[in-house]
Structure 1
């Protein structure tokens, strides 16, 4: 009888270890990756992960060029952008390019949104005939700012979520 009891303890110990290992695997599989951003235009809604994402210190980065999404944004129509709480917890902004009525390409950017200030942005181009080319949500990281030769200061970008119009 004691042999059976000892085997039962061993079986329970092995089962407990297997459950712990399985729990660790599930926790690893369930851990969330980088946040996703939602882009909505008159043509529909798409979500994507970052095309580039770095650690908080912006020292180690991973590139994901396949994360760039294509979505039609008709001229004169807004682009709605929604970011999740974990992205909005740090400063972020939207940089974009569009083709103006004269055919020239114009670059622009939204204001920088302070941490936890907002989680959405509506991009409206200046003229109804302007055609959006790209829009990019950029989250700032914790690295040190740098200055270019002209003295303009830039802050490190932790992550970048990219939409290219189709």
Structure 2
């Protein structure tokens, strides 16, 4: 009788475990890092939890791509990649953003390639959007980020 009760009690305990925030994997130059969300909210982009220590750091040489892998819950929602970079002369450029990925065509991975071969990546931000929409000062509508995963780039050569 005990053999039956023990596995059943383990199932009950496993079912009560708190949900774990999804992690995003960044890969560049043969190294990978898993990053927790620096901010993660409910579907309405409210009731947020922040983790200032969640940002990851990865070395990325000029012009090299960064591969990003996201878990299923993120892939099957609306998300995009925002990034900052400098040109080959070291001048900061306007931040750019990938296209918006949605649940209609789930995307589990994305390769971030900079515009020019001598550009230097500075930071990458994966943003998952919630259900809340707000209007901007230009009259356009913007989705509000639900979750944010941040990668800071170590650009020492």
TM-score, normalised relative to structure 1: 0.81
Counterpart mapping for 1:27-106 below 5 A: 27-29=15-17, 31-106=18-93
Match of 1:158 in 2: 146
- Distance (whole Å) between structure 1 residues aligned to residue 126 and residue 92 of structure 2: 19
Distance 1:23 1:66 in 2: 32
Q: How many residues align?
A: 149
Please state how far the C-alpha of 1:48 moved relative to its aligned partner: 1.2
User: CA deviation digits over 1:47-105, x for unaligned, max 9?
Assistant: 11111000111121000111100001111110000101111111100000001123222
Question: SS in structure 1 opposite 2:53?
Answer: helix
**Does the 8 Å contact 1:81/1:122 carry over to 2?**
yes
Post-superposition shift, 1:22?
Answer: 6.3
After the TM superposition, which segments of 4 or more aligned residues of structure 1 sit over 6 Å from their partners? 18-22
Structure-2 change in CA distance of 1:78 and 1:25 (3 Å): same
Question: Is the radius of gyration larger for structure 1 or structure 2?
Answer: 1
In structure 2, list runs of 5 or more residues that go unmatched.
none
1:134 aligned to 123, 129, 141, which one? Answer: 123
TM-score computed with the length of structure 2 as normaliser: 0.86
Q: Shift of residue 152 of structure 1?
A: 2.9
Q: Cα distance, 1:19 vs. partner?
A: 8.7
Matched position secondary structure for 1:128:
coil
Superposed CA deviations along residues 138-162 of structure 1, whole A, max 9, x for unmatched, are: 011011x112222232111110011
SS at match of 1:26: helix
2:135 equivalent among 127, 147, 153:
147
